[in-house]
Amino acid sequence: MINRQTLSASRPVAQGVEFNKVLKNTYALLSATLLFSALTAGLSMMMGWPHPGLIVTLVGYFGLLFLAGKFRNSALGLVFVFGLTGFMGLTLGPIISFYVNAIPNGDQLVMTALGGTGLIFLGLSAYALKSQKDFSFLGGMLFAGILVAFLAGIGAAVFSIPALSLAVSAMFVILMSAMILYQTSAIIHGGETNYIMATITLYVSIYNLFLSLLQLLGAFSGDD
């Protein structure tokens, strides 16, 4: 007969199994989407496709994000996740092409931004996993900060304000770093049990972190 003590002891085991499953599925899907996004970015660069523009990018991003979230508990969710990350890769290709072709040592800037993004993601993920700290307290601040940075970024793009654009990039480096801690912590502590949504959050964090580092490096190099 199962007593209360046995049930209590089984809960952490069950939670640990669930945590490992979500984490494993998230990192597997994240790796696949990053690779797919890199392929679409490479295709965009090879074909010389222009950037679709701010409006098309926002409509495509939010539309595919909505669909991925709506079908997050079905196989269709995976289709829309790859649709979202592939689309974002297509928008990334022209940006990388600009830095590589229009700026001296642009290829080095791109590789430096890519390496910095990888180091930040791996370092913060490892810290969150090893420390087991709960970063859920960052939720409200992240929501407010990202909203402000997003609106400021649109303003900088519409009114062509380079200084504001750089400030937004610096804000996004901090915000996306905090988002990586927050999302990894949510997986660990059971705040996020859907690996599709966890993958999207981490992918978007990595994407924005890379773009922000690239713009900052380009500005500090004196060639942007």
Stretches in the chain below the pLDDT threshold 70: 1-18, 222-224
**Number of independent structural domains in the chain:** 1
What is the rounded distance in angstroms from the CA atom of residue 186 to the CA atom of residue 192?
5
Q: What integer pLDDT is reported at residue 15 of this predicted model?
A: 55
Q: What integer pLDDT is reported at residue 9 of this predicted model?
A: 41
Q: What integer pLDDT is reported at residue 2 of this predicted model?
A: 47
**147-205 tens-digit pLDDT:** 999 999 999 888 888 899 999 999 999 999 999 999 999 999 988 999 999 999 999 99
The reply to whether 7 falls in a domain is no
The reply to whether 6 falls in a domain is no
Q: What integer pLDDT is reported at residue 1 of this predicted model?
A: 47
What is the rounded distance in angstroms from the CA atom of residue 144 to the CA atom of residue 150?
10
Contact 154, 54 (CB under 8 A): yes
Q: Which domain holds residue 176?
A: 16-220
Q: What integer pLDDT is reported at residue 90 of this predicted model?
A: 96
* Cα 180–Cα 184–Cα 185 angle in degrees, nearest 5: 115
The reply to whether 137 falls in a domain is yes
CA 221: distance to chain centroid?
Answer: 25
The reply to whether 1 falls in a domain is no
- Number of other CB atoms surrounding residue 84 within 10 Å: 25
The reply to whether 9 falls in a domain is no
The reply to whether 99 falls in a domain is yes
What is the rounded distance in angstroms from the CA atom of residue 121 to the CA atom of residue 127?
10
Q: Where are the alpha helices (DSSP H) in 73-105?
A: 75-102
Whole-Å CA distances, 4 to 11, 25, 139, 198? 11, 32, 35, 33
The reply to whether 202 falls in a domain is yes
The reply to whether 98 falls in a domain is yes
Q: What integer pLDDT is reported at residue 157 of this predicted model?
A: 86
